[in-house]
Structure 1
């Protein structure tokens, strides 16, 4: 018995809501226009930390206006700073090894030239039978040894240069980590919530601050099947907020493909008309940004859509922005 009463109450509430929507849309609107109530919403960005660490500073407060790139939180960077210093020291050692290898190459190349000259002289003397074949062999061995030393020094330089490149890569990585210890705003916006506080230890990927995007302002309304079939994304809309003498321009950016509640497999005509679909009305970004101080999340009001594209917006729904 109680279950039957509960079902009856729910049905009565649903019928009352449907009746209210019908009455609301019958009052004050010309043919080809419908309205529905809703609340303003600002798109939210949850800013997270790329690395784990202890929160050292939080230079923003809830409600603060921030520009893109502003620091929202700073994590302790002792570890990343130490890694950066170590990488720089390693690069310095590798650069010194390159310098030593360059000096050795020059010295061995000079020795190779001298050894080549001595080998040539010995070969000339051998033709005149003034030196033995053993002396020629000795000079050739000296020349080959100098050439091998040059090759070895060049290989050492290549290895040292590779070490410099590896150290530079470590410097870049450590510098990037060090930079990422300062968590910055990805967009210009307003701080909604501070999720972390100074002294908190957070893990990689943990949220630190949530931002509201003042350029992305919308209102979600619900319309029945008979109206949805005549709308499409991109259609014009209007938003009127409670307590504000203004009519805001908007456009339809989203229309749900499914009803808000799953219908029964078989429905009568009247039941199909009561199915409600979610529609998103979005204020143009430049307008939203210009009036970011007025357009706040949670403000209540009505959204209006035009079903007949040939119909002219009534005078009371002509765009009217605050002065």
Structure 2
């Protein structure tokens, strides 16, 4: 055991020296104005969750499946909401019948008003000739006013029936929206990374069912020292070369530079310590490239990012864009 410790220490030193030599050789082999750093591909993650608690009925996607935006990937049990929807639809039909009744009542009240108006006119004409007493005229006038009020009440009944129909239809729409929420859909195209629940399980409100990788947002995170990060521009051109496919060079651009350094002492006092500052940089692949090659896009693939600090420096021939053929 004691003999193995010096051997392990020697191996560690040799490895560190080898890494330092390789990094130094790589940096010196690049033209001035270009820097490189190691990293792994990552992608935005989308969690598909249940809006309300309930039993999971179906999961229609498996890990590794590619799903399109809007595709149904899981279904929650909707027996209870289906019953509420049928009840609400029955209320709509009932209120519509109430509207028909209100229209029929209005027609009846309008007929009664017309009859009362004619009776009032006859009574007034006969009273002018002295054939009808004033009491009869007053009675006909009261009957006419009652008929007019009844017409107004019937019209108000139609308005109430229309309002009831609108309220009932709104309830149907709300319940239908609740039912639609039982169909879990992919908000955008992506590949299923994890299947987090299985049919028959009870899922809490907000419980995750599937996790997708957003293949329209794929990037490599690298770390650059102070001198490089300070000269870096947002949108700077970059090239990615992956260990698994060294023959291809993928275009990219800088989309994020951290505002705070990492891997640094708590208090930076000297210039030599400031040189140890490392800033996180995100290098993102263009959406059109991702769309054309999404069947081969993966996360966690290691590689090297080459970033152009000086826009006037041309790319070496070895870093010219080379992409696989799309078939």
Shared fold (TM-score greater than 0.5)? Answer: yes
Which residue of the partner structure matches residue 264 of structure 1? 266
1:262–1:128 Cα change, 3 Å:
farther
Partner of 2:205, secondary structure, is coil
Post-superposition shift, 1:162? 1.1
**How many residues matched?**
312
> 1:24 and 1:160 mapped to 2: Cα distance?
84
Matches within 5 A, 1:32-111: 32-111=33-112
Do 1:25 and 1:34's aligned partners in 2 also have CA atoms closer than 8 Å? no
When residues 24 and 301 of structure 1 are mapped into structure 2, their CA distance, relative to the original with a 3 A threshold, is: farther
- Name the structure 2 match of 1:6: none
Give 1:27 shift: 4.3
1:16–1:263: structure 2 CA closer, same or farther, 3 Å change rule?
farther
Contact 1:21 1:36 (8 Å CA) reproduced: no
2:118 is matched with which residue? Answer: 117
RMSD value, Cα: 1.9
Structure 1 residue 171 corresponds to structure 2 residue 176: no
Are 1:149 and 2:150 counterparts?
Answer: yes
2:308 maps to which residue? 306
Provide the rounded CA distance (Å) in 1 between the counterparts of 2:106 and 2:172: 28
Q: CA deviation at 1:322?
A: 1.2
- 2:292 paired with 1:290: yes
Q: Which runs of 4+ in 1 moved over 4 A?
A: 15-22
Q: TM-score, structure 1 length as denominator? A: 0.92
Q: TM-score, normalization: structure 2? A: 0.91
Distance change (3 Å), C-alpha of 1:266 and 1:254 = closer
Equivalent residue, structure 2, for 1:316: 318
Q: CA deviation at 1:201?
A: 0.6
Residue by residue over 1:77-111, the C-alpha shift from the partner in whole angstroms, topping out at 9 and shown as x without a partner, is 01111111111111111111111010110111111
**Structure 1 CA distance, aligned partners of 2:39 and 2:177?**
44
Q: 1:72–1:17: structure 2 CA closer, same or farther, 3 Å change rule?
A: farther
What is the 5 A alignment of 1:248-259? 248-259=250-261
What is the Cα deviation at residue 207 of structure 1? 1.1
Conservation of the 8 A alpha-carbon contact between 2:217 and 2:284: yes
| Separation in 2, partners of 1:263, 1:118 | 104
1:262 shift after superposition: 5.0
Is the 1:236–1:250 contact (alpha carbons within 8 Å) kept by the matching residues of 2? yes
1:134 aligns with 2:99: no
Shift in Å, 1:293: 2.2
1:263-301 C-alpha deviation (Å, 9 max, x unpaired): 333422111111100000001001011111222101110
Moved more, 260-269 or 100-109: 260-269
